[in-house]
Amino acid sequence: MKKILVLHTGGTIAMSADEDGAVAPTDKNPMTGFEKLFDHQLIIESEEFANLPSPHITPAVMLKLKNRVQQAEEAGIDGVVVTHGTDTLEETAYFLDLTLPNSIPVIVTGAMRSSNEIGADGLHNLISAVWTAASDDARDKGVLVVMNDEIHTARYVTKTHTTNVATFRTPTFGPIGLVSKHSANFFQELIRSEICNINSLVEPVYLLKAYAGMDGTLFEAIDQPTTKGLVIEALGAGNLPPATLPALHALLKRNIPIVLVSRCFNGIAEDVYDYEGGGIKLKQMGITFCQGLNGPKARLKLQVGLSAGKTGTELSDFVSNATS
Ligand SMILES: NC(=O)C[C@H](N)C(=O)O
């Protein structure tokens, strides 16, 4: 019998809709009390993380969650399920993936429909997540996201649709496994990356999205003594409007690390174009290209690297690739 800890943090999975269809957190989490569904597992539930809509989840909460999962493995727990709102689910899952040194399965799940809506998906996702957390095949695979019968890696999964239950997708190569009635089935594995077992957070690290006609105004606005880092979702393969460059030079002059990803849904950022604001020029300025992550995850990777005390080349090597 496996001991599975279910950490409830909130989100639509723990919400209900009123007669007008307005969705809000409930007084009693509707996802608790299902231990009887898992006669072969010992389910331990915890609501210590309150009942937060995931737009209220911060990196500080993610760090507490990381410490709680680490404590659970040291206490002999065989697997952990985290129920979470889907708006920031991929960020919490990736933060845990970057910072958890343990090998037990850690599965993050949620729901796109609240608990009392027709076709509610929360309980099905919770059951799938528990079966995956209890699977020996889910060990040493990093943090996983289980939604809609699919198993995705925290590193690459992203929310692609505002309401659809199939919203979580992994661009390019898809899920690494599928959940059938009572088992988790894997058909891919990730190249594991460095783990930073941090216990504090460096902040603030900003994220800005580039757009046609962008100038330096927003970059000047974050050029503050407190700023610790910046990630830019750049145009195409990794290019920026020329009007942004003076403000970026000013940030780099103050040794503020700047990391660049593409705002494109698929593909990777690389220094291809040799014109003013092109990727080759940006790399020559000292901007680090991050391959394989979206903007929010690259921001977390930069923040975790800084929080682990990385600087200079060590930091740029750490953030330059999803697998580094
Ligand atoms: N489906 C969800 O959970 C969305 C909700 N707004 C949340 O992230 O808390």
**ipTM summary value:** 0.97
Ligand 1 geometric centre to CA of 298 (Å): 22
* Sole residue written with tokens 């009572």: 182
Q: Is 208 helix (H, G, I), strand (E, B) or coil?
A: strand
227 is in an annotated binding site: no
Ligand 1 geometric centre to CA of 67 (Å): 23
pLDDT tens, residue order, the chain (324 aa): 899 999 999 999 999 999 999 999 988 888 888 878 887 788 888 988 979 999 999 999 999 999 999 999 999 999 999 999 999 999 999 999 999 987 999 999 999 999 999 999 999 999 999 999 999 999 999 999 999 999 999 999 999 999 999 999 999 889 999 999 878 999 998 888 899 999 999 999 999 999 999 999 999 999 999 999 999 999 999 999 999 999 999 999 999 999 999 999 999 999 999 999 999 999 999 999 999 999 999 999 999 999 999 999 999 999 998 787
Supply the pLDDT for residue 43.
87
Ligand 1 geometric centre to CA of 245 (Å): 37
Report the nearest-CA residue for atom 7 of ligand 1. 85
pTM of the model: 0.97
Dihedrals φ, ψ of 258, to 5°? -120, 125
For residue 116, give both structure tokens: 């009392």
Residues serving a catalytic function are 12, 86
Give the N- to C-terminal CA distance of the chain in Å, as an integer. 36
Residues in Cβ contact with 318 at an 8 Å cutoff, skipping those fewer than 6 apart:
194, 301, 305, 310, 324
Q: Are 146 and 109 in contact (CB under 8 A)?
A: yes
Probe ligand 1: pick from 87, 91, 109, 125, max atoms within 8 Å of CB?
87
Probe ligand 1: pick from 12, 13, 49, 113, max atoms within 8 Å of CB?
12
20 is in an annotated binding site: no
Q: Bridge partners of 219?
A: none
